[in-house]
Structure formats: structure tokens, C-alpha cells
Structure 1
Amino acid sequence: MKIVDVKSLIVEIPLIPLAEGGIAPYRGHNLPVGKGLVKASSLIYKVVTDEGIIGWGESNQIINKATHLAIFENLIKPAILGRDPYDVLKICSQLLRSIETPVASNGIISGVEIACWDIIGKACNQPVYNLIGGRIRENIEIAYCLGIYSEEETVEKIKQIKAQKYRVIKTKGGENVELDIQRAHFFREQLGNEIKLRIDMNRAYDVSEAIRYLNGVDELNLEYIEQPIPTSQFSALQSLRARTKTPIAINEDCYIRHNLFECIKRNAIDIAVVDLDQIGGITRMTKIANLCSEAGLPLAHHCGFDMGIKLAAILHVNAALEAFTHAMDSTYMAHQDDILTEKIVVKDGNYLVPELPGLGITVDEEKVEKYTVD
């Protein structure tokens, strides 16, 4: 089997408006007060073989259109045309050596890599999860991701989330230590103790601020605090972990080569929040998850306003890899539409894992065309 064609498109799907229940601003998006995010953007890959099998892949790592097109035409396309999709590891290793920016290269490559796994599963008549160890989870619990709302809006949003039977909520912090502490206490009061709460700081604090924050929320039984300080501060992470009973997670550190392994060696964290994009696809995620499992480090999967193709790939790795013991972050419920013929099913705060061969989804090419950015 050989790859005979590959296409790459930038697709944008509108998000549900804030007033209708959409996602409020996340820290770092520089949106005016009261404004929400308005669109989700992804790179979509369509890979075609000489046997007529089509594989689909997705990545959120869009540098800019001109740069992406140059990388696609000059590096990705020549590297993949004529290759056997079963040689996915060789193809991706070659591409990694060719693209200089590690995080961006992992993201761009992961879309191609996911498409190859989709092809392999379809050729074998097996869902991807069976090819990477077999399914150990039928449903994947969702951590419902919330941005920054007013207290009144937060109360209403939490009522909706409870009614829909979500049991884990993720929100943001990092603007101001005292305000963040107050907000965490307000969330816990509204949620009660039956719903888990995780808070992402996106590297916002220095060490002294992180200590103040952790002291202020230690009684709240938070699931974890994600990336409270900047990356590559391993000794500081060790110190934070020793000073608090609140579990410490990393996310951005996972995108820097060797940082996750350094954290494991130093016993500096409780949880790692990883992403198929930044890790580089299903093959590398499988390796890293198995290593973390052996090291006793649990994983949660990050979200990046993923459309259905990437979401399906995330569900397959969560279904098969033992280390994914924590609910996966998701903002998928905020999308107005998807490029699949049917959106992935949510039931009682869980995703149902697709069971058909490959990624187990059907892409609607008319919708792909509709939402493609010229």
C-alpha cells in the first residue's frame, strides 16, 4: 500500500456565542471583558492510498497560513508521497528532523501521523485502540472546561453542567493571587464536594505567588493545579509539591523535549497533562504513556478546541493507554458544528469511544469545504 495523495486545509468552525452558553475568555486570549472565543481553527489532513483508503488527521498547531503551506509543500508532501502508511514511525522521524521548531513541528506532524493510523486501522478492519494495546475503557470521562465568567454567570453555568451530569470541571486562573483564591473558594462552594475541580494557571505565577496561592486553596480538595510556574523550573516544582497537599500538574513542560522525563526523575509532579499535538501523534503518545504508567505517573489529556477528527484520536489513546486515569479536558461542546457527519456522542459527562475501523468516524467533505479558509 502506498500514499498517492495528501491534502492539507485550514478549517475554522464557529463557536457558540457566549450569551448562548459558549466558552468565556481564557487567560491569555486578550479578549475584551464579556467577550468569548468566536472560532476554532485546525489543520486538516486528507491522505489517500493506492488502495482507495482515505485517512484523516487534525492538528491545532497553525503557525500562519503562508508558513504552513511552505512547510507542507516543501517538507511534508515530499516526505509522505509514495510511502507506505505502515511506515508511520519512519515518516514522522524524518519530518521531525526536517522542521526546526519542536512544538510546531510536533503539531504539524501529528496531523499526518493520525491520518496514517486512520488508514492502518481501516486496512486492518480494526479500531485504532486495538492496534495500540486494546480497549480498557469504553467511556472517557470529560473535564468540562470553563473560562472566566462573572459570579452570576458562573452560578448559572454550574447549574447547567450539573444537570448534564458532568463530574469534573476545569477553569483558569493566573491573573491575581488573591482574586484567584477567592474564585477557587467560590467555585468549591457552588460545586459542593461531589464534583472535581482542576485549575490551570498557564505559567502565570512566580514561585512565591504559587506558594501563596497553594496555601490559600489547600483546604479545597482540588484535583490539581496545572502549570502554576514557568517551564523548566524543576527544583521549584519539587519545592511546591513538598509544601502542599494539592496535587501539582504540568502541561507546557510536556511540550519541551526531556522536561517530562526530568520531572519524573526528580519526582517533582503528581500528574502530567499531555496533548497529541505537542507530543507528536499517537505513536509517541503511546511510548510516553507507557513510560508514565511504569513510573506511576497518571496522565490527563489537554484540549485545544479540537474538532471531531482529533477528538476521536484522543479517545482512542485514552481508551487503550493505562496511564490516562484522569478525565480528559474538552471544549468540544462549545462548537456550533463539526466536520463529521455526526458529532461524537456525549452521555452523562462521558464520551463514547468510536468503535468502527480506524478512528471510527466519517468526515463530511462538504462541511470541510464549507469551513475551509481560503
Structure 2
Amino acid sequence: MSDKDLKIVSVETTILDVPLIRPHKFATTTADAQPILLVAVTTAGGVTGYGEGVVPGGPWWGGESVETMKAIVDRYIAPYITGRGVDDITGIMVDLERIVANARFAKAAVDVALHDAWARSLGVPVHTLLGGAFRTGVDVRWALGAAPLEEIVEEVTHKMEQRLNFAFKLKMGALDPVVDTERVVKVVEAFDGKVGFSIDVNARWDRFTALRHVPQLVDGGVELIEQPTPADQLDVLAEINRRVAAPVMADESVQTPHDAYEVATRGAADVIALKTTKCGGLQRSKQVVAVVKAAGLRCHGATSIEGPIGTAASVHFACAEPGIDYGSELFGPQLFAVELLQRPLEYSDGRVHLPQGPGLGVELDMDVVKRLTRD
């Protein structure tokens, strides 16, 4: 293989709309389908690598959408990186910072596609480019919908009986806080401590509301509190963290290495939700994890409801990065009503397993991709 074989000859983007098995509720919106920007990077040697541009539920979370990502990649990123080598990931991603500010979800899609193409060109898995895998899978926490108590109990019981998941997350923030808190405590009490539950408020409560209800949730048995208050109010998050015994996890508050530094120095969280999407890809994720590890905090492998490409990338990252030491919620493909891969990712024994083979170790079913492509 010569350097010429590694030259990027095309960068193509496709928007997919993938239906979900049930509506997935966030604090401010509900998704019935997950839009995905599929980015394909092809080399002169005929190798194609894929990445996903995915945001959780639309632009409400971080200001990006599949439509904005497509415009950024097509107009500003693709022309700039065409002709460069897929092995020049560090240089490309550094240079992109001078061309496009922020847009971390779009950059993550390109970063992953470059890793996939380079690893496939070398005939090695992506985790090799990250230092090699030291484990073969990670634990997966399942996110529950906003269903009645009986349905949630049935869903949790089914997941446990199938040995798919042993820990669960409940979304909050959309209902009246009093009603929401009572609902969650009833779910937790229904399992009498036999199941681990976390909650995620998606940064929608103010200080007063959080100080009133987070202690009630912890007293009710919730084991992890995720981002109860706005992302930029780190002093408020730190106050909550000091007042409750359960660990507090920062998600919206941490998207860059500096964000991680600020959270750590203020004592605003015990755990960081690490999304390879919101951080801008695998390279930038390593920088965030390094800061978190140096501060003595833990990292949770979080999700933006990625499809199998984005999920596979996060699994490779988690299996090669010891700093992902607080489990994961890489359940995205389990929520999809349609299988995008020729061979699905493996979920069993409460874990998602590292796919084998070159690149990300997964192969898209292009017939399904074509059927789900947005006109």
C-alpha cells in the first residue's frame, strides 16, 4: 500500500431517517425516528470508511442537526480534506479547527470515518489505532420511556430476563417536578433495590427545583443523578454534588477538555458522560478522558442515540480506553426498529461486545441504507 492509496478521493454525505421501536422522550422533545448523517470517506485505494453525525433528539441539545452537519461537511470540510491522506487524522482535525468553529458533532462524523478508512486500509481494527483493546465489551445501561409504571416494570423485567441490561435510566424534566419525582421513586421502589436506576434531567431544572427534588430521588434509591441543572451553572451543580450521597454526572456541561477541567476544579460532578459525538470524535475524546482521569473522576460511555456505526466507534474507544470506567449506555441500535448492519452488534450479558474485523468491524446493509435515505 502506497501513500497514494491513502489519499482521500471523495467525501459523501447521506441523511437517513431510522424509525425507533418506541418514542424516546427527552426533557424538551420526543423522537419517533433518529436522523443520521452518514459520512463516507473513500480513498484512492478503493477503501471506504464511515462515520455518523448524530445528535440526541435534534438541535435542542447542542445546536446542530443532520441538516446543519450536512451543510458543514459538504461545503467546508469535504473540499478541504479531499486529496489529503486518511492517515493524517491529527493534522486534519487540527486544521479543521481553523475552518469551522465548534460543530463538534459534524467533526466527530468525519473523525470516525477517517479512523475507519485508515484502519481498513491497514487491515486492522480501529481500536489498534487507539492503542489496542484491553477488554472485549462494556456494560450497557438501558434508557426507559415515559410509560406508565406497569409498562416500565414489564420492560425492565423483560430486559433482565433476556440478560440484555441490568441497569436503567429514567428521563426526567418534561413533567411537573413533583409528579416526575413521584413517578421515578415508584419505579425504583417497585424493584426493591434489586435493579440500579439513574435519572437524567437534561439540564432542565433550576437550582431551587433541583435542591428540592434531587435529595428526594437519592433518598428514594436513585443511584446516579445526571445533569439536573443548566450546563453553564457549574456552581449550582457543585452545590448539588456536595449535598447528596449519590454521584452526580455532568453531560451537557462537558464537551471539551477545558469543560472537564472546570467541572473537576469546582467539584461539580463525580462522573463525566463521555460522548464521542459531542466531543468532536475519537481524538478529542481521548483529551477529555485524560483530563478526567488526572482529576480523579470517572467517565461513563454515553450516547447520542447513535446508529451502529457511531456505536461501534464508541465501543472501540471504550475498549481501548481504561478511563471509561463507569459503564456505558451505548444502547442506540437496540432502540432502532430497523437493522442497518449485515451482522448486528452483539448485546448479551448486560454488555455490548467489541465487533471483530478491520476498521469498525461492521458492514452496512446498503439496501436498508438506500431505503431509509431521505429524499
Alignment of 1:168 onto 2:167: yes
Q: CA-to-partner distance for each residue in 1:89-141, whole Å, 9 max, x for gaps?
A: 221222232224x2xx1111111110111122122322112221221221211
Alignment of 1:49 onto 2:43: yes
Q: Structure 1: how far apart are the matches of 2:193 and 2:113?
A: 41
Would the alpha carbon gap of residues 213 and 67 (structure 1) be closer, same or farther in structure 2, given more than 3 Å must change? closer
Q: Structure 2: how far apart are the matches of 1:150 and 1:55?
A: 42
Cα shift at 1:310? 0.4
- Residue 111 of structure 2 is matched in structure 1 by 113
Q: CA-to-partner distance for each residue in 1:165-221, whole Å, 9 max, x for gaps?
A: 211101111233322321222121223323211100011111121111122123244
- Residue 19 of structure 1 is matched in structure 2 by none
- Residue 359 of structure 1 is matched in structure 2 by 360
Asked if the contact 1:75–1:95 (Cα under 8 Å) also holds between the matched residues in 2, the reply is: no
Aligned-partner residue type, residue 85 of structure 2: D
Q: Structure 2: how far apart are the matches of 1:66 and 1:106?
A: 14
Would the alpha carbon gap of residues 323 and 221 (structure 1) be closer, same or farther in structure 2, given more than 3 Å must change? farther
What TM-score do the two structures reach when normalised by structure 1? 0.91
Asked if the contact 1:13–1:40 (Cα under 8 Å) also holds between the matched residues in 2, the reply is: yes
Q: Structure 2: how far apart are the matches of 1:96 and 1:176?
A: 41
- Residue 268 of structure 1 is matched in structure 2 by 268
Where does 1:3-42 land on structure 2 (aligned, <5 Å)? 3-16=8-21, 22-29=22-29, 31=30, 37-42=31-36
Q: Structure 2: how far apart are the matches of 1:65 and 1:295?
A: 34
- Residue 327 of structure 2 is matched in structure 1 by 327
Where does 1:136-147 land on structure 2 (aligned, <5 Å)? 136-147=134-145
Cα shift at 1:296? 1.6
Cα shift at 1:4? 0.7
What TM-score do the two structures reach when normalised by structure 2? 0.90
- Which deviates more, 169-178 or 217-226? 217-226
Q: Structure 1: how far apart are the matches of 2:290 and 2:80?
A: 28
Q: Structure 1: how far apart are the matches of 2:238 and 2:341?
A: 43
Q: Structure 1: how far apart are the matches of 2:332 and 2:114?
A: 25
Aligned-partner residue type, residue 94 of structure 1: D
- Residue 61 of structure 2 is matched in structure 1 by none
- Residue 124 of structure 1 is matched in structure 2 by 122
Identity of aligned pairs, percent?
26
- Residue 308 of structure 2 is matched in structure 1 by 308
Q: Structure 1: how far apart are the matches of 2:75 and 2:209?
A: 46
- Residue 374 of structure 2 is matched in structure 1 by 373
Cα shift at 1:257? 6.8
What is the aligned residue count?
A: 360
Asked if the contact 2:260–2:288 (Cα under 8 Å) also holds between the matched residues in 1, the reply is: no
Cα shift at 1:226? 0.6
Aligned-partner residue type, residue 35 of structure 2: S
- Residue 80 of structure 2 is matched in structure 1 by 79
Q: Structure 2: how far apart are the matches of 1:301 and 1:70?
A: 28
Would the alpha carbon gap of residues 127 and 64 (structure 1) be closer, same or farther in structure 2, given more than 3 Å must change? closer
Alignment of 1:99 onto 2:110: no
Asked if the contact 1:144–1:169 (Cα under 8 Å) also holds between the matched residues in 2, the reply is: yes
- Which deviates more, 161-170 or 43-52? 161-170
Asked if the contact 1:302–1:328 (Cα under 8 Å) also holds between the matched residues in 2, the reply is: yes
Q: Structure 2: how far apart are the matches of 1:278 and 1:152?
A: 34
Gaps of 5+ in 2: 1-5, 59-63
SS in 2 for 1:113: helix
- Residue 206 of structure 1 is matched in structure 2 by 206
**Aligned-pair Cα RMSD in Å:** 1.9
Cα shift at 1:58? 0.7
Aligned-partner residue type, residue 192 of structure 1: D
Asked if the contact 1:96–1:106 (Cα under 8 Å) also holds between the matched residues in 2, the reply is: no
Q: Structure 2: how far apart are the matches of 1:354 and 1:301?
A: 16
Aligned-partner residue type, residue 173 of structure 1: M
Cα shift at 1:149? 0.9
Asked if the contact 2:143–2:169 (Cα under 8 Å) also holds between the matched residues in 1, the reply is: yes
SS in 1 for 2:141: strand
SS in 2 for 1:258: helix
Aligned-partner residue type, residue 3 of structure 1: I
Q: Structure 1: how far apart are the matches of 2:66 and 2:286?
A: 30
Cα shift at 1:332? 2.2
